[in-house]
Amino acid sequence: SRDYIGFATLPEQVHRKSVKRGFDFTLLVVGESGLGKSTLINSLFLGDLYKERKVADVGERLEKTTQVEKKSMDIEERGVKLRLTIVDTPGFGDGINGEESWRACVNYVDEQFRQYFTDENGLNRRNLQDNRVHCCLYFIPPYGHGLRQIDLEFMRRLHRKVNIVPVIAKADTLTEAEVVKLKRQILADIEEHKIQIYQFPDCDSDEDEEFKTQDRELKACVPFAVVGSNTVLEVGGKKVRGRQYPWGVVEVENPKHSDFNKLRNMLITTHMQDLKDVTEDVHYENFRAQCISQISQ
Ligand code: GDP
Ligand code: MG
């Protein structure tokens, strides 16, 4: 099993100040109910956080998320502190309609900005806690032919407030060819409807070839096709998270089976700082500008 996550390389990307204080990072997960949001979060890094939750035997059912649920964990890795917060939201479907669902998300994001704005202008500026949402994983169903009205609506409500990273849920239910086709259609829909998803920064020209290749591969993956599972299976004597099928096991962390590793690596190691920077410089700045123009009216 994995004994560290990989964020210890973050100090190379930031100021000494944040190294000492630690990093705050908040991830919001949204999308239709039943797409595997809670399962993926669990698979990504929060095994521990959900420990108190009942995960029913082999059926592996999670309790349904009925309200915005926030879980934080402080992790320390080679002297670097990270406070990781996951905000799991009730997806639409199952009694919650699309509008209730996106409103809950928008309110959550705005509320964190408002709190930060208040704190930043208050007396306790030195110990600002950053609860702003730095990234939003948007779950797209694998069984459709691209983005639905409800997905477009959701993204439109959120794209000027938060870094949206689209993911194709339950990619194990699709063939490789179907994944390729769906990715292409989703990107076309995003472009046609002028949705601003998170843009990976350009790679520095002085990076080495290996880095550039990795960067290209990462960008080519969007939207990430993911598989989640809370079941640990044995494959070739190794314990892995996976999903058992009559014809074999789909391994969550096997790059041939899903983009799970790329997504986790991107979030936690290579692009965490950029996600924070864009949140600060673009999304929060928009919010701040609105607050200030309202005050001065
Ligand atoms: P949520 O409502 O989006 O949080 O979805 P859950 O995480 O509660 O998962 C709903 C159901 O889908 C559960 O039965 C999971 O076992 C199943 N599930 C979760 N992730 C995957 C996946 O990647 N592939 C498949 N085939 N099923 C999944
Ligand atoms: Mg859930």
Q: Which ligand is nearest to the CA of 140?
A: 1
pTM of the model: 0.88
Predicted local distance difference test score (pLDDT) of residue 53: 40
- Cα separation, 288 vs 34, in Å, equals 35
Q: What is the secondary structure of 211-229 as a DSSP string?
A: HHHHHHHHHHHPSEE----
Query: Does the Cβ of 42 fall within 6 Å of ligand 1?
Result: no
Give strand pairing partners of 30.
Answer: 138
ipTM score here? Answer: 0.99
Closest ligand 1 atom to 60 CA:
16
Q: How far is CA 8 from the centre of its chain?
A: 19
3-state helix, strand, coil in the chain (%, to 5): 45, 20, 40
- Cα separation, 257 vs 109, in Å, equals 33
- Cα separation, 63 vs 34, in Å, equals 11
pLDDT score of 79 more than 80? no
Q: Cβ-count burial of 291 within 10 angstroms (0-12 exposed, 13-18 middle, 19+ buried)?
A: middle
Q: Which ligand is nearest to the CA of 35?
A: 1
13 pLDDT band (50/70/90 cuts)? Answer: low
Query: Does the Cβ of 269 fall within 6 Å of ligand 1?
Result: no
CA R_g for the chain:
19
- For residue 23, the surrounding DSSP H or E stretch is strand 23-31
Query: Does the Cβ of 100 fall within 6 Å of ligand 1?
Result: no
Ligand 1 binding pocket mutation candidate from 28, 39, 226, 244 (most atoms within 8 A of CB): 39
241 pLDDT band (50/70/90 cuts)? Answer: confident
- Cα separation, 136 vs 267, in Å, equals 11
Query: Does the Cβ of 38 fall within 6 Å of ligand 1?
Result: yes
Query: Which residue has its alpha carbon closest to ligand 1 atom 18?
Result: 36
**Which range scores top for mean pLDDT: 19-28, 74-83, 154-163?**
154-163
Predicted local distance difference test score (pLDDT) of residue 287: 95
